[in-house]
């Protein structure tokens, strides 16, 4: 992996053709820690893909009209699980370690880039769970934007500036999703290029940081793939591997979460 990143590094140092994530104007202020602190690998293309669900003609019609048809589990259960999964992205991620090891400033924009990366990994995993998983993905994104807007208000950002920045961040989000999707299905050089453009905003000067993040995404996706899909749909409980493993042998299949008959 180190060799692949170093081979790619000269190309990325010279290329500025692709647009990375833009710095968000007006809200790139220092974060108080209270806002974000509570506490060769396989890829998704190697994982078995789920069989497409068979749905009736009525379901196809209402979904073609933009509505969600009947799902395997009730929508409110999936919404609760989606909220838990998004919460895992912002409360179980060690932001301080990312700031330190990736030399990122402690700002709102850095928080958003780290959160976006973890939300994307959740979306990749849940899209493998059929129609229920795709519905859950939409709810996760909805909760993410609600949280982003609320944090902007807490920071005292002017409502007009916040609205403009939300539009910019939305564009950056979907561009990042497309880039990361292409990268995870590619080799390490393709994933490194996607991370360099989006996560590092084309400003990473140390190839070791890029190598570290490529390894982190690969192992994290492998870890998420080992989690039972039914458990994720019912509980939304996700844990994250540390950015730097103290014991590489500790990457084992996680224990199944416990929940009652109502999926809680």
Residue-range definition of the domain harbouring residue 153:
73-235
- Residue 2 placed within a domain: no
6 within domain boundaries: no
Give the pLDDT of residue 84. Answer: 96
pLDDT of residue 70: 60
Any domain includes 49: no
74 or 50: which carries more pLDDT confidence? 74
Residue whose structure tokens are 């019912």: 234
Q: Which residue has the higher pLDDT, 152 or 199?
A: 199
Question: Between residues 65 and 190, which one has the greater pLDDT?
Answer: 190
| CB contact burial 212-240 (16+ within 10 A = b; e otherwise) | bbbbbbbbbbbbbbebebebbbbbbbbeb
pLDDT in tens, 80-116: 999 999 999 999 999 999 999 999 999 999 999 999 9
- Residue 40 forms part of a structural domain: no
Each residue's pLDDT tens digit, 179-219: 999 999 999 999 999 999 999 998 888 899 999 999 999 99
Identify which of 238, 245, 193, 194 has the alpha carbon closest to the alpha carbon of residue 219.
Answer: 245
Query: What is the C-alpha R_g of the chain?
Result: 19
**Residue 250 buriedness (CB in 10 A; 0-12 / 13-18 / 19+):** exposed
In a domain, 117, yes or no: yes
Q: What pLDDT score does 74 carry?
A: 85
pLDDT, tens digit, 9 for 90 and up, residues 10-36: 445 444 344 445 555 545 544 443 333
If pLDDT is split at 50, 70 and 90, which confidence band does 160 have? confident
Contact 153, 93 (CB under 8 A): no
Predicted local distance difference test score (pLDDT) of residue 117: 97
Classify the C-alpha dihedral 21-27-206-199 as positive or negative.
Answer: negative
Over 70: is that where the pLDDT of 168 sits?
A: yes
pTM tops 0.85: no
Backbone φ and ψ of 85, nearest 5° = -65, -45
- Strand, helix or coil at 30? strand
**Residue 167 domain-assigned (yes or no):** yes
Q: Is the pLDDT of residue 71 over 50?
A: yes
Q: Which of 137, 138, 109 is nearest to 121 (CA)?
A: 137
Q: How far apart are CA 36 and CA 57, in angstroms?
A: 46
Mean pLDDT of 251-258: 54
- Counting Cα atoms < 13 Å in the Cβ hemisphere of 18 gives 21
**Dist. CA 220–CA 213, nearest whole Å:** 10
Q: How many domains does the chain have?
A: 1
Residue 240, in any domain of the structure: no
Inside any domain, residue 64: no
pLDDT at 156: 84
Is 252's pLDDT higher than 70? Answer: no
**Confidence (pLDDT) at 120:** 97
> What pLDDT is attached to residue 32?
43
Judge residue 121's burial from the number of C-beta atoms within 10 Å of its C-beta, 0-12 exposed, 13-18 middle, 19 or more buried: buried
Please give the pLDDT value at position 102: 94
Average model confidence (pLDDT) for the chain? 78
User: Looking up tokens 């940081």, which residue turns up?
Assistant: 209
């Amino acid at each position: 992996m180190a060799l692949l990143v170093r081979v790619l590094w000269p190309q990325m140092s010279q290329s500025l053709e692709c647009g990375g994530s833009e710095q968000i104007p007006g809200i790139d202020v220092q974060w108080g820690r209270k806002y974000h602190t509570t506490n060769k690998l396989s890829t998704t293309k190697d994982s078995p893909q789920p069989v497409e669900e068979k749905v009736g003609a009525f379901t196809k019609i209402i979904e073609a009209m933009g509505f969600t048809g009947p799902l395997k589990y009730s929508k409110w259960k999936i919404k609760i699980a989606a909220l838990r999964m998004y919460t895992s992205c912002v409360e179980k991620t060690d932001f301080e370690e990312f700031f330190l090891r990736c030399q990122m400033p402690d700002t709102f924009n850095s928080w958003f880039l780290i959160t976006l990366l973890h939300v994307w990994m959740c979306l990749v995993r849940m899209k493998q769970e059929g129609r229920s998983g795709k519905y859950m993905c939409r709810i996760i994104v909805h909760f993410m934007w609600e949280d982003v807007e609320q944090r902007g208000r807490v920071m005292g950002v002017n409502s007009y500036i916040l609205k403009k920045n939300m539009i910019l961040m939305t564009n950056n989000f979907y561009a990042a999703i497309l880039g990361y999707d292409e990268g995870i299905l590619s080799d390490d050089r393709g994933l490194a290029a996607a991370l360099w453009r989006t996560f590092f905003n084309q400003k990473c000067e140390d190839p070791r940081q890029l190598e570290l993040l490529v390894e982190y995404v690969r192992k994290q996706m492998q870890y998420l793939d080992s989690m039972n899909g039914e458990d994720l749909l019912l509980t939304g409980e996700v844990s994250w591997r540390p950015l730097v493993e103290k014991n590489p042998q500790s990457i084992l299949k996680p224990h199944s979460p416990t929940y009652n008959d109502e999926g809680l």
